A and B are shown apart, each in its own frame.
Chain A
């Protein structure tokens, strides 16, 4: 801002002379041009085009997971943003347009465009691409391209561990997996990932000040695959459930197309507003099944073997893929201001979620067709919310809200034949199961008051009651389908804010919640062997097959405390400091199951702005979480009396500890090289660790290697550990008014270890699991980029 009031101690005559000369001859032309240029530059649209090249030192799926930098080669940098339209010229229309593109040389590219006559209509289109790498170390002998749904084995592959004598059984020392040279040679590496291509279109039209309509449409085309395990018959003599599975990790195709669209009509009045909208989401899966060949057995139903190198046929298996489905929803939202102090706002939604995808092929149906060819599933969702707010006095704001959410699953319940994994695909069924279409209903009442105690001091008190009901509309036989039919949770929240001084702000809050859940330990699970359940069969009676006393944590009674506090201190005009922390504690009322959990976090931030455009900022975050679980041990342990349905004498505990540290430093330094060069730096480091510790307090000693019923294993798992360090340096050199050269350097290193991958390694997998050789991501990548940006 110009200060026109500055006194100038200049002789009036001298000034007048200078002023006259300048004003008459020079200033009117040059100064005006300069000023006009500056003003025009601020008013006109800013266009930019950036082109350049970049190079990535190594290929890493994890490094390129979302960044689009998937390959170790030179790539093109392409970004542009172009704008225009007569509205920028100040003429009497609101026409503006824009086209833009980002990361055009990568698999994370995006393009967009818009055209609008502001105040009348808007149009926009967009395209966004995202390659999500999952792994580049997955190996499989299954033949078939990623994205397909049929995988086969080479005829010469032969069966693996076909000899039951070599079939490893938990608790029994046996031979490790041995793959023949032919089998080893059949493994090939696949780069597994999905690609999402998003196309969007939006339009809006304003009829008048009161009425407008808008529409948006989004088409998501997803290809590629994610990994999934498929289990089937192992070749071990059937009849021993859970000991005859054979596991293959497969590329589950994501041949998905999702269309989302929203059409809304908006009305705006003096005191109220109303929007009526239709939301539709249609999901289509190009497949309804995934099939693969089982390398553990020869022929369709046989447990026979076939030597590697021979002409073998294999057992075919299949599993379902995500079923196509639709969701259609009507939404009404609106508000009314009774006065400037009292307002009412609310909404209502009614949705129908349907699914009638044909079932997978008749393979593995257990010897008979299902009761219907498709599910004809229907879930009706209803939502309503109403919120009344009042601010009769400036210092007090009151609000009351009611929310209602209902998931009403009206899908029919039927009896389906179930086939255990240890059976051949077309063998007769093991038993029957009954599907349980789950419904739930949640009602929430919220009351809150915000009170301004004094200038700079606020107190908020809030109360909430949450009521949840669960159940099924219909289950064959009319049985109960959930263990916890209802819960009621009361929540109280207190929050206090204070502007302690002109530069110090404090805040603190405490929340308390108490959930009382009903839980039926006599609950009979409806899934699984229903006949056995009804007959009081072993391992299937009471408490859904869990030990009596065990409660799944989402359905357990619980008390929750949360305390948080923070301070922000603007130490000077240049220095900002912030410190905040949070502590939460959950305690569950359950004899067995999750007992408690605690989370703590502390965050420290500092920003030093040493000039108008230059600053240094640093942060540090520490987070720690713990979850303690107490669980019943092996059902046949002597102390249990041989039944699963009583609280066992012996128990084990398991603790999960998560620790997370993150620090960051970023800086922006401008004004270098005569104001032409700026340097941006970003350094971050994070270390995350997760560890499980199992203890057997009921026993004097813990075993290291046994599934025997007299001893239990215990100890700590190796840490699941991830360490990431990132350094980004960007230099921008302003070549001239319109041109800028950017040089960028990125270094990122990830070191991770995860016991998950131990079970995937060759020679270390379970005797009935085909190894994949996948490895925990580790990389150190250098990337450089150079680009030129033209701004006009």
Chain B
């Protein structure tokens, strides 16, 4: 009976190791630690060590020592990194697990039934790894380019935002790099903008046609409010080049700062205006003809709204486009007779 038992045990061990060897020959095959049957902690640790030594990399160079445990059943799916740019081994710059998570000696060398210590660097929401250390894992490769070299001291860096607060590394669908899903990532913190996007006048951000990153560089910039370009106007002109001029007749606040009149993230007053003419204009003009006249509701007026004139005769200076009924070229005019931005 003892002899029979020994034979069976030997068969079991052999049987379990054979697939490992077979799997090792096939690059597309998964790893076979799943077929090691464990009977106690110590044999288990030994078995893992055996498999660690025998297993081959699944995705990244040198990942075997990690993927022997962090396999296809892991959640989130760590092996999906294969589908990302970080998973292309032919690119010499491609990292391996320990490039980001650290050598994690204690984690790898853990034996026993207790919960293993965490790897050196963890990136999850509740990670104990300081944000600066987490970010360093990314910045060691991604700081030396014109898009990220102003990260240090930028608004997001100084507010302790981690790269992984926005980015997901192990999935082929990184939400923040997809126009349709990027806003929900940004709105996690930028809640005022989330509400403003619901307003009647807005850029098509929620519709997935304009992304926050079309205007902003979240990694730091020399422009105001992390804008990609050097100035606000330069940023706006990327899409609204018709307002760039230079015009023969310039409107001074327009040439300086679009946000003197417009608000970019959403407004109750179309098109993305901070206020409605004629009140908008009255914030800067208080002299030329009707700009100095107060305008208000006229209870008796057929307008049921705004007029400074008689009930039957509302003035075009106040109604509809207000001042812009005549001064329609508010962004500048290139007409020789357009000095007052009329034409």
Contacts and interface: CB of A to CB of B under 8 A. Distances in A.
B32 A660 contact: no
Contact of A23 (B35, B196, B318, B340): B35
A245 B322 CA distance: 13
B53 interface: no
B149 A335 contact: yes
B222 A385 contact: yes
B5 A32 contact: no
A418 B339 contact: yes
Interface string B3-33: 0010011011111101100110011111111
Interface in B277-301: 279, 282-290, 292-301
Contacts, number: 617
Nearest to A320: B335
B302 interface: yes
A769 interface: yes
B253 interface: yes
A317 B113 CA distance: 88
Interface in A1-47: 1-2, 4-8, 10, 12-13, 15-20, 22-24, 27-28, 31-32, 35-36, 38-46
A306 interface: no
A353 interface: yes
B153 A119 contact: no
B70 interface: yes
B294 A39 contact: no
Interface string A428-462: 01000101111010000000101000000010100
A223 interface: no
A157 interface: no
Interface in B323-338: 324-326, 328-329, 331, 333-338
A173 B295 contact: no
A580 interface: yes
A621 B191 contact: yes
B30 to A, nearest CB: 4
A707 B308 contact: yes
B82 A43 contact: yes
B92 A119 contact: yes
A724 B268 CA distance: 12
Contact of B312 (A83, A176, A258): A176
Pick the most buried of A4, A228, A375, A528: most chain B CB atoms within 10 A of its CB: A4
Contact of B195 (A228, A399, A686, A717): A686
A130 B343 CA distance: 29
A632 interface: yes
Given A32-B29, A230-B328, A715-B296, A130 B231 contact: no
A776 B183 CA distance: 28
Contacts of A756: 276, 320-321
7 cross-chain pairs, A with B, having the tightest CB-CB distances, nearest first:
A23-B15, A759-B319, A119-B91, A759-B320, A755-B305, A433-B339, A19-B12
A482 B309 CA distance: 33
A528 to B, nearest CB: 6
Given A119-B93, A364-B343, A377-B245, A1 B69 contact: yes
A118 B93 CA distance: 10
B89 interface: yes
Interface stretch (A86-94, A147-155, A733-741): A86-94
A788 interface: no
B9 A12 contact: yes
Contacts of A8: 38-40
B29 A273 contact: no
Given A93-B90, A612-B75, A629-B283, A686 B199 contact: yes
A497 interface: yes
B215 interface: no
Contacts of B243: 322
A368 B196 CA distance: 49
B82 A42 contact: yes
Contacts of A497: 159-160
Pick the most buried of B13, B249, B296, B300: most chain A CB atoms within 10 A of its CB: B296
A722 B149 contact: no
Given A118-B90, A629-B282, A662 B149 contact: no
Contacts of A377: 245-248
Contact of B294 (A43, A327, A654): A654
B149 A273 contact: yes
Contacts of A296: none
A662 B195 contact: yes
Nearest to B143: A335
Interface string A592-618: 111000000101010000001000000
B246 A355 contact: yes
B94 to A, nearest CB: 8
Nearest to B5: A13
B167 interface: no
Contact of A450 (B158, B196, B286): B158
Interface string A81-106: 00100011111111010000010000
Contact of B250 (A27, A38, A438, A715): A438
Given A320-B329, A325-B244, A497-B159, A660 B314 contact: no
Contacts of B296: 692-694, 702, 713-717
Contacts of B204: 65-66, 130, 132
Given A322-B242, A377-B248, A438-B256, A418 B15 contact: no
Interface string A101-125: 0100000100000000111000000
A376 B85 CA distance: 48
B253 A554 contact: yes
Pick the most buried of B250, B289, B329: most chain A CB atoms within 10 A of its CB: B250
A572 interface: no
Contacts of B162: none
Contacts of B92: 119, 209
B199 A320 contact: no
B319 A399 contact: no
Contacts of A83: 83
A116 B11 CA distance: 49
B200 A750 contact: yes
A288 B247 CA distance: 13
A343 B312 CA distance: 69
A544 B276 CA distance: 23
26 contacts: A4-B38, A12-B9, A20-B11, A28-B19, A65-B204, A119-B92, A130-B204, A258-B239, A345-B150, A359-B336, A365-B336, A375-B248, A387-B152, A437-B246, A438-B255, A448-B158, A470-B252, A482-B252, A582-B192, A688-B268, A690-B268, A712-B294, A722-B199, A756-B321, A759-B314, A769-B325
Contacts of B300: 704-705
Contacts of B260: 554
Interface string A321-340: 01101010000011100000
Contacts of B329: 319-320
B120 to A, nearest CB: 17
Contacts of A458: 160
Given A5-B113, A355-B334, A593-B286, 16 more contacts: A19-B11, A19-B16, A22-B15, A35-B34, A43-B83, A93-B90, A128-B209, A320-B343, A322-B331, A349-B230, A355-B244, A364-B335, A366-B337, A421-B342, A635-B292, A705-B300
A633 B293 contact: yes
A275 B146 contact: yes
Contact of B37 (A19, A170, A429, A686): A19
B99 interface: no
B225 interface: no
B244 A654 contact: no
Contacts of A718: 297, 304-305
A42 B72 contact: yes
Interface in B209-241: 209, 222, 230-231, 234, 237-239, 241
B47 interface: yes
Pick the most buried of B36, B90, B243, B279: most chain A CB atoms within 10 A of its CB: B90
Given A7-B41, A119-B90, A230 B337 contact: no
A660 B12 contact: no
